A and B are shown apart, each in its own frame.
Chain A
Amino acid sequence: MESNKKYWKGLEELNNTPEFVELNKHEFAEPVPIEEVLSGTGLTGKTPRRNFLKSVGFGIGAVSLAACQRAPVHKSIPYLIKPEEVTPGVANFYVSSFEGQAILVKTREGRPIKIEGNPGDLFGQGGISSQAQASLLGLYDTSRLKGPMQDGGDTGWNPLDSFVKAELAAIKASGKQIRLVTNSINSPSTLGVIAAFAAEYPTTKHVTYDAVSYTGIIQANQNSFGKAVLPHYRFDKADIIVSFGADFLGSWISHSEFTRQYVTKRNEAAVKSGKMSRHIQFESGMSLTGSNADVRIPIKVSQEGLALVNLYNEITGTTLPGSKKLGNNIADNAIMLAAKQLAAAKGRAVVVSGSNDVAVQILVNAINSALGSYGNTIDLDNPSYQYKGNDADLVALVEEMKRGDVGAVFFLDANPVYNFYQSSAFADALKKVRLRVSFAPYNDETAAACNIVAPNHHFLESWGDENAVEGFYTLIQPTINPVYDTRKAEQSLLVWSNNAVKDYYTFVRNTWNNGILAKGGLAGQNGWDTLLQDGFIKVAEKPATPVTFSRDLNAVAQTILAQGNKLTGGEGKLELQVYENTSVGDGKYANNPWLQELPEAVSKVTWDNFAAIAPKTAEELKLEEGDLIKITANGYSTELPVLLQPGQAQGTVSVALGYGRTKAGKVGDGVGKNAYPFLALTNGTFQGNAVATIEALGGDKVVLAQTQTHGSYEGRDIIRETTLQEYLKKSEEKDHGHGEHEKKQTYDLWEAYDRPQYDWVMAIDLNACTGCGACVVACNVENNIPVVGRDEVRRRREMHWIRIDRYYSFDEKGKTVTEEKEIDKLEDLDHVSVTYQPMLCQHCDHAPCETVCPVLATTHSSEGLNQMTYNRCVGTRYCANNCPYKVRRFNWFNYWNDSRFENYLQNDYTELVLNPDVTTRFRGVMEKCSMCVQRIQAGKLNAKLQKRSLNDGDIKMACQQTCSANAIIFGNKNDPNSEVSKALKSDRTYYVLEELNVQPGIGYQTKVRNRLTTEA
């Protein structure tokens, strides 16, 4: 269609002026100077040859120089095809199981980076131990074997399989014995695999032993009640707990579970209602449990049996033959009172003993039976399968091997060359065995003595299952492809036994399909899928069947008393007790730097074991802290530095197991001294008590790497403690309006900040905290906290963002002594009370650190957090000096890129454990607790994505989450209904150093001891 419209470009065109017509004739309105260009200097102008060469030379030179810099090659594989379940930046959680405990494994982009408790877990109900937290690092440990080994050299799985199969066939033909040595296994599938293996090779016998043995309890139950089991203890049902050397909060059987149970009777609700449990501990070494007891009576190792006999006498009103008083008024008196209180709380009492002596445990059974504990505080019908070892079996194996009866021996999770008390005898006997196979993931002491090492997967790489307590089944699922060329031990056994099922995963599925799933009301693929989400199956508890103790105790008492006499130290001799400590445990985790650097709960020593001696005893022996002594007992001697331990029974010395590994790996080798050879086979079980001679070696003192060296709190108001009686009296007065109504006037130099939405605060219950240190490891893992090693801890430079302060106070004639100069005057340091105080950044509203930073690197957030901006920090350390809590940590070195620290976390594999949400800090910057700000942000984001407001409990701090005792509560103070607001309303709440008006954000709840003045 034609249009009549005419578009014009300008008025000239519209008017069609003559100029326009003229100009419009040419293509360009203005003349183009083409001629000028062509004839001028434009083209004829010379480019001088030299200039050309110069530019070319410079260009090539510059490019080549730039190319000389070798650009680092980062091998990374992008998600060209994104796996459906992986979103970069979003964590996936998988259920799994650690030592029978249901856990969640947090993975990021396919790497497991954190282990968290499964809230439905039977044991910790979301809380897990420091070992469980730290076990993650084992996955990436570069000391692990990278592949199978034969005769000390590398090999492949196929040649290894054919070799082992041929050997086994030959051994089978010769009729020689086959032994499978393991620690306690409660996995139904593994036990199934072993049974199948034994079916193929009928001479196979499964030998179970545990480095720290509980055979005594198991056999005592067999003897007393005909049930060879480890009972399931229920401290949550006990109003009175009397323990003889059982460190049930620190290392005994199921300590993180016991912690949870124990604290339910000691938390805010229990204290408020006045129904707090009473815990009396008789022990020689100062254990974590003893340090938490309401009343702790130090008694000698040799007197533990006698004390139990006396307790039995007091409770039942009988007198066993040979009974006599301890000769220690305080202890005798305490036994009498304990007996009274136990008897008054029948059915709500429990007596436990840490002894591995069958006779002692029979007597304990008799006491518990008299107290009606069975079916109440002790469950024999739903027993624990955590420990099943039989010490005699291992001893028998040595004899068999010596005789040359054994053709093949397999070691699964067992390291007897290290932790058997006669390790050299074991190693010698082992040499007579034709086929020696270790499944150890490390070339450990036992693996080194084997001709085949078939390294096992880390549990995070493999399928599996566990059944730690009757009726509680947990599933292990892989969370990452195997990091190294390892293979699940069960898989190896299946292959070697020519099993019809070639694949362990199928084997596990079959095991669950044939019975376990049904127990949980599940079936088929759906049931399996549900299991993969829940992680466990819990079957209703079996009802208690009544048991009565009816054995004659005369012979038992004789054995106990005779044993006690044997242990009595003479002149210049001490009674030795070996124990398992709270950080490194039995030595299995010796190569874990997180655990090595976790201060042992009571002594605060890292990276070493030591000889703990009472200060009074040391004085008598003319020993001082750090003196090197030679301890000789049971034909073994070793040299250890002395640690003066208040509360240690006089005349005794305690040494921790789990140290002195020689083939643990880069980290654990040569840390401390081995104490296993101090054990002895006594009355059929391994026992760690002996009479030791002590010899001072002189020479330089050893400085132990302690994170805390001053033990008393100098009477300062930083620790508040009271007794239950006192507390109840005060709170009643307050309820009637007689209490203190102190209205404090506070002053502000600056205008208060607005906290429009959130005010993040924390409440820490000193009465719930047992001081175990799981929070410290959890924080290390969550926040990429460097491990600095023994020397740096000695220089007092550990980097932990949260620490557990441990304070001693002493009870002298009804008075509490806390000041150093008065403590120095005390006769002995036996009667010590311990308070633990988790200390971390208090996120003060008037933060002293914030005002002094010259560059504003630490500032306050609108949510009440004290924030540290690493990138802005120039490292003057003024903030750390001005922090009254001394919680700020300075990066003295470049821990992530300094060869001196590479043993710990700094290598290609272990760096994979880093939490990508938290930056690693460079040298020269300050760091400190961020209140897991990454978790707060993630929680807020998650709520936003779900288009809802943030709920209380959505965000949990790493320390809070792992705490079985639930001692730490985090939340929003602006919400009056939040858990933390409620907790802070407790009349026990106080703020540390609140008199400085720094307005800290963490409220502590006063420690309450359920102690009568007559007891202490």
Chain B
Amino acid sequence: MASHSESIIREPLITGKNITYAQITNEVLAPVENKPNMAWWIGFVLSVIGASIWLFSISWTFWYGIGEWGLNKTVGWAWDITGFVWWVGIGHAGTLISAVLLIFRQNWRNSINRSAEAMTIFAVICAATYIFGHMGRVWLAYWTLPLPNQFGSLWVNWNSALMMDVFAISTYFSVSLVFWYTGLLPDIASIRDRATGLRRRIYSIMSFGWTGSVKTWQRFETVSLILAGISTPLVLSVHTIVSFDFATSLEPGWHTTIFPPYFVAGAIFSGFAMVQTLLLIARKVLGLENYITMFHIESMNKIILLTGSVVGVAYITEFFIAWYSGVEYEQYAFINRSTGPYWWAYWSMMTCNVITPQLFWFKKIRINIPLSWILSIIVNIGMWFERFVIIVTSLHRDFLPSSWVMFYPTWTDVGIFVGSIGFFFVMFLLFLRVLPSVAMAEVKLLVKTSSEQAKKKLIDEGHLDPTHVDDYVKALEKYDSVDLTQYHKA
């Protein structure tokens, strides 16, 4: 790759002057090899408090029963499955970035894939807690697995979408984990090589004996590609199957064939929003501005804009189909969503998911870091409401009006949800301390071709079309990590 120069028109993926491989290693490993700073400690303490709330609430539920939640005879799922789908959705960006973008040779993924994958894994763990938590008899959760048993010939029900869910989630989790860990191997080896004592021994074991030989690298590349191939369909399948939980039922508002694509788009939407939420802060706190550049931020904002619009179209299509179907229950379900007692949830969802992301049509907003961060939070909120709207407002008024009820959450519901966010951040912050948050090896691949300094060198060599160079320099204006003076004085 190094033999070819990348076109000057492409924006740089790494900024900064005199970037060396060693510098990348030093900068990325700074949080791993040094004592944590104040910001980390504040974040960590808050997260631990959150995780404690989660632990308390879930223990309370297990001790007394699901009755501690606000559910009732009509609304059998509410914050539990809302939380589950929300977390699974968030867990979508990681694999999409690492697998799909790898296959499409989108090199900009190299800087963000590590954190995104970590986020995926932690989000799926959070989602899994809801799968267990919502079960009335959680100690029998293993019955959902097709294990040979002595209870007679008891088997699982392959017709049930929940059953498919068990497999979809566990497959996704294991493949994501393997993919993530495989990618980590060369970086762990780098830590090992720089560490001493016990640390060295631990990282040595964790590096699986990485030697750095050409053959190792070759195998590494092959495995990455194979895993990417396996993961790509999973990106689509997981949320498709999660959507089956609803689509294969006959509840008005659930029984909808649009759900699989709509859910996948929503998942990518929320996943990228969560990546934004995390990386915009991590980039600042960990000083990774040169590796996670404005180009990355803008690209992700574009994806959020696209998927948000897809989701918006899906919302409108649902309404149209409800009317077009002529089924009164379906029609009522949708009218009730938008004008019934939970109208505020519906309009929160519409505002957060469809209307506000449209602001990303403006480049100024796309490259504005505080606004991007706020909008990413709004998308996260909107996507939570989307699941709440689908689940609660469909269930609370279905076929027989005699059973119509309202759902009111209890402190346990809130505690488990808020706590799961704390739990997520505990895991994420620990990850930042022990593993490199940027895929060093993959970023280093870009230094020779896609970095600002490589391009500067090409410009300085002077064989380029000046109009292209002008365009390039203009594109650099949005970067907050680029010093433009050196280009202007030239």
Contact = CB atoms under 8 A, between A and B. Distances in A.
B6 interface: no
Contacts of A795: 70, 72
Contacts of A894: 65
Interface in B356-405: 395, 397-405
B261 interface: no
B72 A796 contact: yes
A765 B370 CA distance: 66
Contacts of B70: 795
Contact of B162 (A873, A878, A898): A878
Nearest to A992: B400
Interface in A836-870: 837, 839, 848, 851-856
Nearest to A993: B399
Interface residues of B, number: 48
A996 B136 contact: no
Nearest to B407: A796
Interface string A798-838: 10000101110000000000000000000000000000010
A874 to B, nearest CB: 5
Interface in B245-284: 245, 248-251
Contacts of A713: 401-402
A854 B136 contact: no
B90 to A, nearest CB: 22
Contact of A710 (B155, B162, B404): B404
B136 A924 contact: yes
Given A805-B402, A884-B250, A890-B76, A872 B157 contact: no
A924 B400 contact: no
B59 interface: no
Contacts of A898: 64-65
B154 interface: yes
B405 A709 contact: yes
Interface string A688-728: 00000000000000000000111111111010000000000
A712 B166 CA distance: 40
Contacts of B249: 848, 852, 878, 881-882
Contacts of B157: 851, 853-856
A619 B64 CA distance: 43
Interface string A876-919: 11101110111011111110001000000000000000000000
Contact of B166 (A710, A854, A872, A924): A854
B66 A890 contact: yes
Contacts of A837: 402
B302 to A, nearest CB: 37
Nearest to A875: B136
A923 interface: yes
A342 to B, nearest CB: 36
A925 interface: yes
A795 B332 CA distance: 24
Given A852-B161, A878-B160, A886 B248 contact: no
A878 to B, nearest CB: 6
A882 B162 CA distance: 12
A796 B408 CA distance: 11
Contacts of A205: none
Contacts of B136: 873-877, 890-891, 923-926
A548 B61 CA distance: 72
B313 interface: no
Given A807-B402, A891-B136, A854 B144 contact: yes
A1013 B162 CA distance: 53
A797 B159 CA distance: 29
Nearest to B405: A796
Contacts of A856: 154-157
Nearest to B74: A886
Interface string B326-350: 0011001000000000000000000
Contacts of A708: 402-403
B160 A854 contact: yes
Given A874-B143, A876-B162, A889 B73 contact: yes
B135 A882 contact: no
A602 to B, nearest CB: 14
B137 interface: yes
Interface string B396-423: 0111111111000000000000000000
A929 B137 CA distance: 21
B156 A875 contact: no
- Which of B156, B250, B329, B402 has the most A CB atoms < 10 Å from its CB? B402
Contacts of A891: 65, 136
B67 A893 contact: yes
A1009 to B, nearest CB: 20
Given A709-B404, A797-B67, A878-B162, A714 B332 contact: yes
Nearest to A926: B136
B415 to A, nearest CB: 17
Nearest to A924: B136
Contacts of A792: 67
A807 B402 CA distance: 8
B315 interface: no
B71 interface: yes
Nearest to A881: B76
B77 interface: yes
Given A874-B143, A877-B76, A881-B395, A852 B400 contact: no
A797 B72 contact: yes
Contacts of B137: 873-875, 922-925
Interface in B300-332: 328-329, 332
B73 A880 contact: yes
A223 B326 CA distance: 65
A876 B404 contact: no
B455 interface: no
B400 A874 contact: no
Interface string B62-98: 0011110011111011000000000000000000000
Given A854-B156, A874-B140, A882-B249, 13 more contacts: A805-B400, A848-B249, A853-B160, A854-B157, A855-B156, A855-B157, A874-B136, A881-B251, A884-B399, A886-B399, A890-B71, A890-B76, A926-B136
Nearest 9 CB-CB pairings of A with B: A875-B136, A924-B136, A892-B67, A877-B76, A805-B402, A796-B72, A886-B403, A924-B137, A854-B162
26 contacts: A708-B402, A709-B404, A709-B405, A711-B401, A716-B401, A795-B70, A795-B72, A798-B73, A805-B400, A852-B249, A854-B157, A856-B156, A872-B154, A874-B135, A874-B137, A874-B143, A875-B66, A878-B249, A882-B251, A886-B400, A888-B73, A892-B66, A923-B136, A924-B138, A925-B136, A993-B399
